[in-house]
Structure formats: structure tokens, C-alpha cells
């Protein structure tokens, strides 16, 4: 059994002076949401990933850098994979299949619509709305990551920042 956590990057800024889509930073809401999600994943879920891979786009890698250390992954251990940047389904499936088998609990930071497509492909279901900094937790019935395929697992949890804010009220 393998466990995969798929996270859409936190809210990015459309008003920044970034020279390209790749370089768009998080906005204030995104900078607040990512640590909030990290606390929830650590304190309430007890998530302990042993492998983290991210799109190198600024908004995705920044989200990863705000979440992973709280879960015991040093910033320098985050693997950046260019193929994840704005990827559709197939490059994301390949990224999952490339995870070394020594790891049991992996985490992937990516973009829409690919992350929702990946969740649906692996589980047969997906959240109706995959908000920014949304987190899908999957159990995959696999011995090897290379065997990741259609409906090989189930979606065990989905959480997003607004859900946490509503629960605190």
C-alpha cells in the first residue's frame, strides 16, 4: 500500500510584476493558507511524507517550501520536476511512476487542472471544486509506484483552507 498526498499550489498573485506565468508568486491569502494547511496536516492528520516532489513554478515550490518543513521534510529534500509545471494527466502519472519504491508516503505539489485529473484517474473520483491549496489524500493499492494506474486507489480525504476556516467559526 502506498499513500499519496496531492496539493494544488496556494493562491497566487495575478497582479504581481512577474515576467511570466512560471514566476507568479503567492498572494497574501496564499502565504497565509499554506502554513495553515501544514499545521492541519501535521496536528490533525499526523501526515509524515517521506518523499516530496513539486512543480518548480514559483507558486508551487513556494507552497511546498511552506508546507513540507512542518511535516519533517527539509526544504533541500523537495524534488523539483519540470514536467509537473502546468501538466495534464500523462506527465503527472509518469511523475508518480518515477517515485522510488523505497518511499511509502509521497506528496506532489502541482497545478490545475492536472491535479484534479490525477486524483480522478487514480481513484475514480475527485473533489467537485479543487480550490487553491486543496489537499487530496489517497491510498493506492500498489507495491510499486511504477504500477500506478487507472482506479488503483481511493480518495481518503480532501481538505482546503476555507473548510478549516469554517470549522474554526
Beta-carbon contacts of residue 70 (< 8 Å; ≥ 6 apart): 35, 38, 39, 41, 42
The tally of domains found in the chain comes to 1
- Helix ranges restricted to H, the chain: 28-40, 58-67, 89-97, 114-123, 161-168
pLDDT band with cut points at 50, 70 and 90 for residue 168: low
- The gap from C-alpha 141 to its chain's centroid, in whole angstroms, comes to 19
* pLDDT tens per residue, range 29-71: 999 999 999 999 999 999 999 999 999 999 999 999 999 999 9
In this structure, what C-alpha cell is assigned to residue 22? 512560471
Q: Are 133 and 10 in contact (CB under 8 A)?
A: yes
In this structure, what C-alpha cell is assigned to residue 140? 493506492
Residue 88 reports pLDDT greater than 70: yes
Residue 72 maps to which CATH number? Answer: 3.40.50.1240
Who has greater pLDDT, 2 or 165? 2
| Structure confidence at residue 113 (pLDDT) | 95
Kindly report the CA angle at 121 between 115 and 123, in degrees rounded to 5? 100
In this structure, what C-alpha cell is assigned to residue 83? 514536467
| Structure confidence at residue 66 (pLDDT) | 98
| Structure confidence at residue 162 (pLDDT) | 86
* pLDDT tens per residue, range 116-164: 999 999 999 988 889 999 999 999 999 999 999 999 999 999 999 887 7
Domain that holds residue 93: 2-168
Residue 169 reports pLDDT greater than 60: no
| Structure confidence at residue 166 (pLDDT) | 67
Among 106, 168, 108, 167, smallest CA distance to 140 is for 106
Amino acid at each position: 500500500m502506498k499513500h499519496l498526498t496531492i496539493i494544488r499550489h496556494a493562491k497566487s498573485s495575478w497582479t504581481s510584476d512577474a515576467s511570466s506565468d512560471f514566476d507568479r508568486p503567492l498572494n497574501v491569502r496564499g502565504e497565509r493558507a499554506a502554513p495553515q494547511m501544514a499545521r492541519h496536516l501535521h496536528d490533525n492528520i499526523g501526515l509524515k511524507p517521506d518523499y516530496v516532489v513539486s512543480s518548480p513554478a514559483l507558486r508551487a515550490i513556494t507552497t511546498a517550501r511552506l508546507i513540507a518543513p512542518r511535516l519533517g521534510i527539509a526544504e533541500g529534500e523537495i524534488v523539483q520536476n519540470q514536467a509537473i509545471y502546468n501538466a495534464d494527466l500523462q506527465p503527472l502519472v509518469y511523475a508518480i511512476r518515477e517515485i522510488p519504491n523505497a518511499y511509502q508516503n509521497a506528496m506532489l505539489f502541482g497545478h490545475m487542472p492536472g491535479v484534479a485529473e490525477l486524483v480522478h484517474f487514480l481513484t475514480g473520483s475527485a473533489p467537485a471544486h479543487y480550490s487553491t491549496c486543496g489537499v487530496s489524500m489517497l491510498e493506492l493499492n500498489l507495491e510499486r509506484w511504477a504500477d500506478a494506474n487507472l482506479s488503483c486507489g481511493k480518495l481518503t480525504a480532501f481538505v482546503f483552507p476555507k473548510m478549516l476556516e469554517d470549522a474554526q467559526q
